[in-house]
Amino acid sequence: MKKIYLDYAATTPIDPRVTKAMLPYFSEKFGNTMSLHSFGQEAKQALEESREVVANLMKAKLNEIIFTSSATESNNLALKGIAFANENKGRHIVISSIEHPCIIESAKWLEKQGFEITRLKVDKYGLVEPDDVRKAIRKETILVSIMHANNEIGTIEPIEEIGKICKEKGVYFHTDAAQSFGKILIDVNKMNIDLLTTSSHKMYGPKGAAALFIREGTKIEPLIHGGGHESGLRSSTVNVAAIVGFAEAARICQREMKIESERLTKLRNKLIKGVLQKIKGSHLNGPPASAMPKALWAGPPASAMPKALRAGPPASAMPKALRAGHPKKRLPNNINFSFPGIEGESLVMQLDLLGIAASTGSACSSEKLEPSHVLLAIGLKPEQAHGSLRLSLGRWTKEKDVDYVLEVLPKVVKRLREISPFKR
Ligand SMILES: Cc1ncc(COP(=O)(O)O)c(C=O)c1O
């Protein structure tokens, strides 16, 4: 049976070009970056070259990148590290209500240590209102942490405006860019970002590597103490092979981001349009599908794209409902539907039997069987949130995969609705 992977937001396969770049660092180039001999120096050089590549992709300086093991670790370091280094100024932190669990749980833990957390509401598309950030900031506020793009519904937050407000108010601004780094343009200076989280395994790199951008001069405490690696902010022998892979993945994203965004946006829009037309009562969660604004793309002009990648219907051919609302605010590869009357988990299992790997929401919360906090935050009722399906496309998604989903999904939804206890 053919297998179609549509869960790229959970994790991505490693690009073969990345694997190739990593291989020597498992064998002949195995040195410890702290060793003075040539093996160590070779590893150290690879580490610093990787740092430069990752820094470049967000327009940061070399000394502003700290390598960690995951976005979860980067987010923990950002929140707890800022909290403990700045508690003499104040103990108030602002986050949004749709953050990833690693921000939500870190904030809850800080609450237990005596910090105060404000959780901002979002609109029906999952957008944070910048003015709400302004109103939430007090003289004791030390940090605002609002994600760049949501992992469940793909909403791209107004980061630049929020960053500007934080800068005016003299409050550190952190953004979790695990889902957006390598997919849309990021400029930490233009966007007034002080701390930014990334993750290698969301962008065709290996698991076990990630980075936290920390603007020069930021007051932050380490969480892991030891030999003083990563400017004393993250002690532990450096995972050079994984970091080299992360950097190679970043290099590829930098080169191919524009072409990939355009291609995925077209496939995404075709899939959304097809499902909304074919499945009665289906609902798209998050911002409407629309063409991505040019400013979010990097790389060569569209005319440099191979013809095959430029094909597909123009944005003007989309139904009006799909073009209205908050255009430009959805990740190019994200789709999230609700199918009232069925359980998302049953749908995911049925699709898996037919060779389609999808998800009900975030991979981290899929075992909890609770309705998604993101879908509840955008106003869905628990029964609507239970019937959700996330399809996330990626580098190896083909048009024929989209066609297969459009053939199979309506039948599965129909069958599940027929046997649904909600129907009875
Ligand atoms: C927005 C966001 N933040 C953080 C994480 C955690 O990433 P990692 O698996 O690298 O810890 C994820 C993973 O799903 C994510 O989507």
Return the CATH number at 140. Answer: 3.40.640.10
Stretch 264-282: mean pLDDT, rounded? 96
Element (H, E) at 131: helix 130-136
Strand stretches in 249-363, DSSP E: 283-284, 334-338, 356-357
Residue 11, in any domain of the structure? no
* Distance, CA of 226 to chain centre: 30
Is there a catalytic annotation at residue 364?
yes
Is residue 298's pLDDT more than 70? Answer: no
Marked catalytic residue, from 102, 166, 253, 364: 364
Is residue 350's pLDDT more than 90? Answer: yes
Residues 310-321: b if buried by 16+ CB within 10 A, e if exposed = eebeebeebeee
Number of domains composing the chain: 2
Domain boundary among 252, 287, 314: 252
Residue 206, in any domain of the structure? yes
CA dist., res. 404 & res. 246, Å (int): 32
Using pLDDT thresholds of 50, 70 and 90, give the confidence band for residue 422.
low
Using pLDDT thresholds of 50, 70 and 90, give the confidence band for residue 72.
very high
Residue 2, in any domain of the structure? no
> What percent of the chain clears pLDDT 90, i.e. is strictly above it?
83
Residue 3, in any domain of the structure? no
210 lines ligand 1 (CB under 6 A): yes
Claim to verify: residue 124 and residue 226 sit in the same structural domain: yes
pLDDT tens readout for residues 116-172: 999 999 999 999 999 999 999 999 999 999 999 999 999 999 999 999 999 999 999
Give me the pLDDT at residue 365, please: 52
Q: For 179-193, 195-209, 216-230, 309-323, which range has the lowest pLDDT when averaged over its residues?
A: 309-323
Ligand 1, atom 16, residue with closest C-alpha: 151
Using pLDDT thresholds of 50, 70 and 90, give the confidence band for residue 313.
very low
DSSP 120: E
71 lines ligand 1 (CB under 6 A): yes
- On average, the pLDDT of the chain sits at 90
Pocket test residue of 97, 100, 373 for ligand 1, highest count of atoms within 8 A of CB? 100
Give me the pLDDT at residue 320, please: 39
Claim to verify: residue 194 and residue 308 sit in the same structural domain: no
More confident residue, 4 or 298: 4
Atom of ligand 1 lying closest to residue 99 CA: 1
Contact predicate 246/206, CB 8 Å: yes
Give me the pLDDT at residue 310, please: 35
Strand stretches in 23-107, DSSP E: 65-68, 92-96
Using pLDDT thresholds of 50, 70 and 90, give the confidence band for residue 341.
confident
Claim to verify: residue 87 and residue 118 sit in the same structural domain: yes
Claim to verify: residue 275 and residue 242 sit in the same structural domain: no
* 401 CA from centroid of ligand 1 (Å): 26
Q: What angle do CA 55, 61, 67 make, to 5 degrees?
A: 50
Rounded alpha-carbon distances, angstroms, from residue 70 to 132, 198, 310, 412: 30, 8, 35, 36
Return the SS3 of 44.
Answer: helix
Stretch 337-352: mean pLDDT, rounded? 94
Ligand 1, atom 5, residue with closest C-alpha: 71
156 lines ligand 1 (CB under 6 A): no
Claim to verify: residue 228 and residue 311 sit in the same structural domain: no
